[in-house]
Chain A
Amino acid sequence: MPRDFPPRSFSARVPSLLFLACVLAALFFLVSTSQAQSQAAVTQAEEVPAQATDLVQPAPPPVTDLRAIDTPSDEGGSITVRWTEPANAEELGLTYQVLRSDKPDGGYAPVGQAGAGEQEFVDMGLTDGQAYYYKVRSVLGAGVAESEATRAAQAKGNWFRSYRLNALVLLVVFSSSVLYYITRARKAKPIYIRKIAGLDAVDEAVGRATEMGKKMFYIPGIMSVDEIQTIASLAILGHVAKLSATYNADLEVPNKDPLTFAAARETVKEAYLEAGRPDLYREEMVNYVTYDQFAYTASVTGKMVRERPATNFLIGSFYAESLLLAETGQSIGAIQISGTAEVAQLPFFVVACDYTLIGEELYAASAYLSREPILLGSIKGQDITKFLLIVALGLGVVLESIGIKFMSAAFRMK
């Protein structure tokens, strides 16, 4: 494997990145047009002339172009019925009844209705593989007109949500970019990572608590481990606990979520073991408080005021309690390092803490602190995708401004 591919300098890489962006854009374009074509190419029943069934009341015009297809990109059990309504349907105030039967020539029963302006009905709860036939009845007062029946349609489960192709493309690009730089990092290419003041301050903060002979609080947010910020926080906790074991500082980790509590306990225990000081680890270091957000806040702020810790770490996912915790910590003069990706809470942390990890800095923390090359590699891969997104955003702004809608269509999530 040639080691200097791709070229080293960033400026030399810009053309290839732009090229990649263009390929992506072209791919999106192909996807969106092919989707449109596949929708147009559904089985069509022949057009039927108006069929008056009521002679007293003038019969409303029937719908045309009626067709029934398996609902695309679903798990099965559903058929989509589409039709074209008469031109003056909304003026007349037509309504439609959708009728279904399992044989083509009779036994039609209503399964749903639609109003003027609607030209689609999704029939659910069907048996996969069985043939169904549909008719649509236009209703105007007492006058009704039935369309001819559709051809047989069968429901079936699908294997791909075609409308999520754009997400899949992004996933593939993102994952390959991350994995590529991880592989490269394995070959010991040094990777640059900018300084993050909040993380540099971790050592100092632990040292301060040791010198003062006071406690350190580590609050891993209030969410469970299915929240990725909590996992990022646990990774930082591992580092803090190792330092705390090395310096013999007094660490306490109060928890709000029981799963986070269980995970935090393992993390701290392991960190003390790794630091070679399992004798210093005590069960009550990591403790459980309560599942209630504000009761938890009351307990932790109460402890802060009584025990006056030298250092507070507030890292993870926080909500309304963020300022209550941070401002109390500020009032007792603790050095505070905070970090969250909850944008609404960031201002509070910035105001009341000494250092704040903002958004992605939190996720970069484990790589930054451990300096593991492969973790750093993943951050570089993530940055490349971010760059591609910035290009796509810029391109999107230009294209939308001149009336070309394709970027917004390509990135639309259904």
Chain B
Amino acid sequence: MKRQLPLLLTFLAGTIPIVAFFVPERHVGLVSTTLDSWLIIVAGFALLLGVVNVIQMNANKIHRRSSGWPYAIVLLLSLAIMGFFGFAGAFDMFGGIATRPDGSSTPFDWLYKFAFLPLQGTMFALLAFFMASASYRAFRARNVEATILLIAALLVMFGRIPFGEMVSKWFPLATEWIMGKPNMAAQRGIMIGAALGAASMALRIILGIERSYLGIGKGE
């Protein structure tokens, strides 16, 4: 029973949306959208589980003075401060979580603008640096395939910037051609293969053939 029940639930939760895709009847649709709402609720509770885990782990770290424990203090403090103002804002203390009617920042909004936002921007901007070092290493004309890759990369990079067009109007056109034709063809090939792989995996899961993710043994 301990094994059968999760598999039965998986089967039902997997089949209902497929049936609803083909059957427009109101009640079927209702069951399917209810499942969607349940997912959101379950995810909400799981997030709570995550937060509890973060607090436990980091509290332990500080308690045991294990390596990097000062970072754990920073993390817990940040969690407490942002969490407090978020909660308080939700109950309309400190003027909510967005800006006040006069345009001034509430504490949550202030933290968002002057801590969260720049930190996020910084992480995303790191991509430019990492891309530079990765492409320096990767784009070498080692063999024919690598040379084709290199030429395509240079064309696209050059064609996407104004200098490309200043040199010749063919650079932007070549860029668009590479992106729209060979790039797209390859992407579609991978997408179709991956979609079939995902569908086959989904079928295995719905039918209870693939169970490894449930932690209840593989195969039959």
Q: Which of B39, B43, B203, B219 contacts A370 (CB 8 A)?
A: B219
Q: Check B200–A288 contact: CB distance below 8 A.
A: no
Q: Of A235, A351, A364, A381, which contacts B213 at CB under 8 A?
A: A235
Could you say which of B50, B123, B191, B200 contacts A178, with CB atoms under 8 Å apart?
Answer: B200
Is B144 an interface position by the 8 A CB rule? no
- Find out whether the CB atom of B200 lies under 8 angstroms from the CB atom of A378: yes
Looking at the complex, which of A89-97, A144-152, A153-161 is the stretch in contact with chain B?
A: A153-161
B187 within 8 A of A: yes
Q: How many residues of A contact B (CB 8 A)?
A: 86
Tell me what chain B mostly uses at the interface: helix, strand, loop, or mixed.
helix
Closest A residue to B120 by beta carbon equals A294
**Is A164 a contact of B201 with CB atoms below 8 Å?**
no
Contacts of B205 in A (CB 8 A): 231
A360 CB–B CB distance under 8 Å:
yes
> With contacts A164-B21, A287-B57 known, is A386 near B198, CB below 8 A?
no
Subset of 19 A-B contacts with CB under 8 Å: A159-B25, A160-B24, A174-B203, A231-B201, A231-B213, A261-B49, A262-B46, A270-B216, A288-B53, A323-B131, A324-B126, A350-B138, A358-B190, A360-B194, A362-B197, A363-B198, A364-B197, A370-B219, A385-B196
Which B positions have Cβ atoms within 8 angstroms of A? 18, 21-26, 29, 39, 42-43, 46-51, 53-54, 57, 60, 67-68, 71, 119-120, 123-124, 126-127, 130-131, 133-135, 137-138, 187, 190-194, 196-205, 209-210, 212-220
In order of increasing CB-CB distance, the 5 nearest A-B pairs are: A270-B215, A363-B197, A360-B197, A359-B194, A258-B46
Residues of A at under 8 Å CB distance from B? Answer: 73-76, 157-161, 164, 167-168, 171, 174-175, 178-179, 182, 224-226, 228-229, 231-232, 234-235, 238-239, 255, 258-259, 261-263, 266-267, 269-271, 274, 284, 287-292, 294-295, 297-298, 302, 306, 320, 323-324, 327-328, 330, 341, 343, 346, 348, 350-352, 358-364, 366, 370, 372, 374-375, 378-379, 381-382, 385-386, 389
